[in-house]
Amino acid sequence: MRIIITASGPAYQEAAAWAAATFALQAGTEHNVLVLIPSSEPVRRILNAHARKFGFSIGRFPFRQISESKYTSQLKCQAYAAALSELKRGEIALFADADTCCVRPLSFPVAVVSSVHTGGIGLAPDIADRHFISRSDPWYLAPEERLPYVNSGVILASTKSIERFRRFRALSEQPKFLCGPFNDQKIINYAMGKYFRDGLVQLDQKYNSIGPPFAASAVIAHHAGGAGWLAQQRRKAIHQAHCAEILEKKGAAARLLNLRAAARSSQPPRPLQAKFPTVCAKHTRERLSLHTDELPKSFKKNEKLSPGPVKTMQIAEAKDLTSPRINPFRNVKLKNPTAEACS
215 backbone dihedrals φ, ψ, rounded to 5°: -65, 145
| Residue-wise pLDDT tens digits, 18-47 | 999 999 999 877 899 999 999 999 999 999
pLDDT of residue 303: 45
* Closest CA relative to residue 234, chosen from 221, 222, 225, 245: 225
**Contact yes or no for 73/183 (Cβ under 8 A):** yes
Q: Which fold has domain 2-251?
A: Spore Coat Polysaccharide Biosynthesis Protein SpsA; Chain A (3.90.550)
- The mean pLDDT value for 293-305 works out to 43
- pLDDT of 7 reads 97
Tell me the longest C-alpha to C-alpha distance in the chain: 92
pLDDT of residue 257: 59
At 100-151, the pLDDT tens digits run 999 999 999 999 999 999 999 999 999 999 999 889 898 999 999 999 999 9
The answer to whether residue 184 scores a pLDDT higher than 80 is: yes
The pLDDT confidence band at residue 225, using thresholds 50, 70 and 90, is confident
- With a cut of 90, say whether residue 259 has pLDDT above it: no
Pairwise pLDDT comparison (186 vs 296), residue with the higher score: 186
Q: Taking the domains of the chain in order of start, what are their residue ranges?
A: 2-251, 272-343
pLDDT in tens, 204-219: 999 999 999 999 999 9
Q: What is the DSSP letter of 98?
A: T
Type of residue at 262: A
Q: Is the Cβ–Cβ distance between 82 and 168 less than 8 Å?
A: no
pTM, whole model, 2 decimals? 0.74
Least confident of 18-32, 158-172, 215-229, 299-313: 299-313
Q: Could you list the beta-strand ranges (E) of 277-327.
A: 278-280, 312-314
